[in-house]
Amino acid sequence: MENVSVFGAGSWGTALASLLGQNGHNVTLWCRRADQARAINVTGENPNYLRGHPISSNVTATNKIEEAVRSPLWVIALPTQAIRGFLTDVAQMTSVRPYICNVAKGIEIKSSSTVSGIVRDVMGDVSYSVLSGPSHAEEVIQDLPTAVVVASLNCEVAERWQAMFSRPNFRVYTSSDVMGVEIGGAVKNVIAIAAGIAKAMGLGDNALAALVSRGLAEIMRLGAKMGANPLTLAGLAGVGDLIVTCFSAHSRNLRLGLAIGKGKSMAEAISELGQVAEGAYTVKALKEMGRKVCEELPIVDAVYDMLYNDLAPEEALNTLLLRDLKPELPPAMQWM
Ligand SMILES: NC(=O)C1=CN([C@@H]2O[C@H](COP(=O)(O)OP(=O)(O)OC[C@H]3O[C@@H](n4cnc5c(N)ncnc54)[C@H](O)[C@@H]3O)[C@@H](O)[C@H]2O)C=CC1
Ligand SMILES: O=C(CO)COP(=O)(O)O
């Protein structure tokens, strides 16, 4: 059994810490706040997230970062925009060269980089893996059947994380396509915001299905430019996660979109949610990145303009529907 630290005691960090504890590992759950860590240790539940669901007794919470960094295995469950600052602080505190498994799904605004790039910038050549796929914390904490993928350039490392996380109701596949898994997990959040807006507008099921399919086309187009394998994006980390995020009532990104579609301001929608909706930030990074690597991301552009440029949803819809008519597949993909 392994000693592992989970950084971030939001809903995903809490659910995964508990799962690793149930698998018999000795888990340290790092929380930002001392009162939260105390409450978890005393009550066996997280007072702020997933209330009513007991956390495995193999999990010890702490807000003392110097304790948490001693583990050789780190699971990073923080919002993407916080990861660079967090790693910069902790890198100065320890000489441990950890095995990192990132479970956040986003792209950093200031670097247009996925989390592997952030980790490389701050920690250099450290072992990096990413776990992603359709997996809402609210269902994982109840041990409902879930399948995900863990990707690493080193297949033995991917297999080590696979063995640690797997349990009968949490099936973990391995992959070597780190970029594919990261792009799938990050961009689907933006499409889910669009799905929430479309739902709030009452556009119907046909429109939602079109949005999801054309959203996948954007994910694949961007993924291809970034070196992702298109088949990864047809799998759990792409289509699988896109479906659950666009259709599940648990989804934070969908709920943010619903609030925006009902006329709430971004500030109101974010504060009502009280949890991170990564798509709201990733869309900014994609706006930058899109200009550099992939010009045609019309749904991403529409979400950006609705969130940050006061574009009315009805106008965004018209812009999307009235674009030039074209083949479904771009010429370079028509052989497929
Ligand atoms: N909630 C879910 O079901 C899933 C979430 N994810 C991903 O996991 C990541 C975390 O998501 P959630 O746990 O849902 O978020 P959350 O909003 O529930 O929790 C985020 C946690 O990070 C902490 N935090 C925020 N800023 C921080 C900073 N600057 N320094 C240190 N700690 C900070 C917060 O205090 C909170 O404990 C996101 O990238 C999300 O997309 C992935 C799969 C499932
Ligand atoms: O990634 C997730 C499920 O796989 C969580 O999505 P939300 O952040 O939209 O809830």
ipTM entry: 0.99
Residue in the structure block whose two tokens are 């674009």: 323
Within the chain, residue ranges assigned H as helices are 11-22, 34-43, 65-68, 80-91, 115-123, 137-140, 155-165, 178-200, 205-226, 230-233, 241-247, 252-261, 266-273, 279-293, 298-308, 313-321
Instruction: Assess if residue 330 is contained within a domain.
Output: no
Q: How many domains does the chain have?
A: 2
Instruction: Check the annotation: does 253 bind a ligand.
Output: yes
For ligand 1, whether the C-beta of 79 sits within 6 Å is yes
List phi, psi (to 5°) of 161.
Answer: -65, -40
pLDDT at 335: 59
Output the average pLDDT for the chain: 96
For 37: left if phi > 0, alpha if psi spans -120 to 50, otherwise beta; the answer is alpha
End residue of a domain, out of 176, 191, 215? 176
pLDDT tens digit sequence for 72-105: 999 999 999 999 999 999 998 888 899 999 999 9
Specify whether 110 is catalytic. Answer: no
Instruction: Assess if residue 334 is contained within a domain.
Output: no
pLDDT tens digit sequence for 123-180: 999 999 999 999 999 999 999 999 999 999 999 999 999 999 999 999 999 999 999 9
Distance 280 CA to ligand 1 centre (A): 14
Distance 133 CA to ligand 2 centre (A): 9
pLDDT tens digit sequence for 232-268: 999 999 999 999 999 999 999 999 999 999 999 999 9
Instruction: Check the annotation: does 251 bind a ligand.
Output: yes
Q: Does one domain contain both 157 and 29?
A: yes
Instruction: Assess if residue 142 is contained within a domain.
Output: yes
Element (H, E) at 7: strand 3-7
pLDDT tens digit sequence for 22-60: 999 999 999 999 999 999 999 999 999 999 999 999 999
Nearest ligand (C-alpha, residue 11) = 1
Instruction: Assess if residue 331 is contained within a domain.
Output: no
**Among residues of the chain, what percentage have pLDDT more than 70?**
99
Q: Does one domain contain both 217 and 171?
A: no
pLDDT at 158: 98
pLDDT at 330: 77
pLDDT at 288: 82
For ligand 1, whether the C-beta of 161 sits within 6 Å is no
Please say if the pLDDT value at position 228 is more than 70: yes
Task: Report pTM.
Answer: 0.97
Q: How confident is the model at residue 120 (pLDDT cuts 50, 70, 90)?
A: very high
Domain of 291, in residue numbers? 179-324
For ligand 2, whether the C-beta of 192 sits within 6 Å is yes
Mean per-residue pLDDT, 326-333: 81
